[in-house]
Amino acid sequence: MMSLTEQDAAAAIKARMVSLTVLELFSTDLEELDRQLLEKVALAPKFFRNAPVMIDFGQLDEEVDGSWLEKACELLFANNFVPVGITGAVESLEFTARARNIAVWPAAGTARPDTVVESPQPEKKEKPVQSHQEPQEEVSPQETPHTETLVVRQPVRSGQKVYARGGDLIILASVSTGAEIMADGHIHVYGTLRGRASAGVKGKESARVFCNDLQADLVSIAGYYIINDDLPIDMRNTAVQIYLQGDQLKIESLK
């Protein structure tokens, strides 16, 4: 029996890291959820358009049924989100999700993106929505596990992703629009920072982002983010450090 060559193969199954928006539920109030989603989308409509969403039921104390999930999915579609999965749900909801061809993630050990959308729960601090980056290229070789500082000497091009798992990330060149760099620790960019930069991916709130020229589409630290439209004018195109203070990102000049 002859094996298919790579040229003859119809497809290939490969592992790939993909950013994903998480809708973490604290209430079953669909009207309030709709209101909050509208507010988020209004801040950056192009940024959130067609973003795939995983619905997380892990923090929800109330019981919901398949009918509620159907309505929630319709609400997400109406706000230009695309529900693609659920996690932390009871078995009956998993059955409904599978009937809609929505994936089911296990509650334990689920990999969370660096930001979440929260539905109403006044006593909890609010974290913002993270946009989705469409997968474009294979995961960079730099994304293999390590615990030391990862140094990248070449530019990070559009569509490329670099993840310093377990340590800091140092980029000795520039990061292009459409690229994504991530680190469990700090991020240092000695050129222009465009694209997306996420430090403290696993929740390290002391992580910081340093760059010589701030033009990023998004900067995130431990789940809190700022998008390009919200960057202070006097901090654009300058050398800065970005850090988390309380529940807000602060930007300071390095000059």
pTM over 0.75, yes/no: no
Which pLDDT does position 2 carry in this prediction?
43
pLDDT, the chain, mean:
79
Note the CATH number of domain 141-253: 2.160.20.70
Question: Which pLDDT belongs to residue 60?
Answer: 86
In whole angstroms, give the CA distance from residue 184 to residue 186: 7
Cβ-Cβ contacts under 8 Å for 204 (sequence gap 6 or more): 184, 185, 222
Q: Where are the domains of the chain?
A: 21-118, 141-253
pLDDT for 79-130, tens place per residue? 888 888 898 888 888 888 888 888 888 764 433 443 334 444 433 333 443 3
Structure-block tokens of residue 13: 């199954």
> Environment class of residue 50 by beta-carbon count within 10 Å: exposed (0-12), middle (13-18) or buried (19+)?
exposed
Antiparallel, parallel or unpaired: β 218-221 and 208-214: unpaired
Instruction: Just give the CATH number of 21-118.
Output: 3.30.70.260
Q: Tell me, what DSSP letter sits at residue 135? A: P
Collect the ranges in the chain with pLDDT lower than 50: 1-4, 108-146
Q: Is the dihedral of CA 2, 7, 13, 16 positive or negative?
A: positive
Strand stretches in the chain, DSSP E: 21-24, 51-56, 81-87, 103-105, 116-118, 150-152, 161-164, 169-171, 180-183, 187-193, 196-199, 208-214, 218-221, 224-227, 240-245, 248-253
Query: In the chain, how many H helices and how many E strands?
Result: 4, 16
Q: In the prediction, which pLDDT does 17 show?
A: 53
Structure confidence at residue 241 (pLDDT): 96
Q: Residue 9: CB partners within 8 Å, gap ≥ 6?
A: none
Q: What is the pLDDT of residue 152?
A: 92
